[in-house]
Amino acid sequence: APPLRSARDRDALRAALRDGVIDCIATDHAPHTDIEKDQPFDQAPPGMIGLEFAFALLFTDLVAPGHLPLTTLIQRMTAGPARIIGIPRGTLRPGSAADAAVLDLHAATEVTPARLHSKSKNTPFLGRVLSGAVTHTIVDGKLVFDHGVIVAGNAAGARA
């Protein structure tokens, strides 16, 4: 996708998120090893990582400056994608899967290679300090991520 360079483009995207024209936010998490990416641009596989810091990036750039309410961001990252792909997830209703993320909205986290669990460290966000963090992730009622540590097998068990 081309970069959104103009302020007008960014404003239109934020308005579409706010107004529900865009009803889902997801990542195209594409982890590639350093060896796979370390080649001429036209020969390297496309994509980069994005899942691990997706919430913090969006919180920093959309919620903290007042462009989007936190409740809207959470809905766009949970119920919206689940509805679109037709899975019964993304809510905390009785009978639904016990999937949840615990957030620390006051955290400040620097994106560093040591904090990345992906096989790739290919991100333009290295060195950036982000507001907000996912401190815990629960999948099917099981704690799989606890303050930066994968505690239950392969946390990619987030069905990705």
Annotated catalytic residues are 28
Q: Please state, in angstroms and rounded to a whole number, the distance separating the CA atoms of residues 45 and 25.
A: 23
Q: Which two tokens stand for residue 153?
A: 């097998």
| Residue 142 CB coordination number (10 Å) | 13
CA distances to 23, 117, 145 from 154, in Å? 29, 10, 10
Q: What is the dihedral of CA 111, 116, 120, 121, to 10 degrees?
A: 30
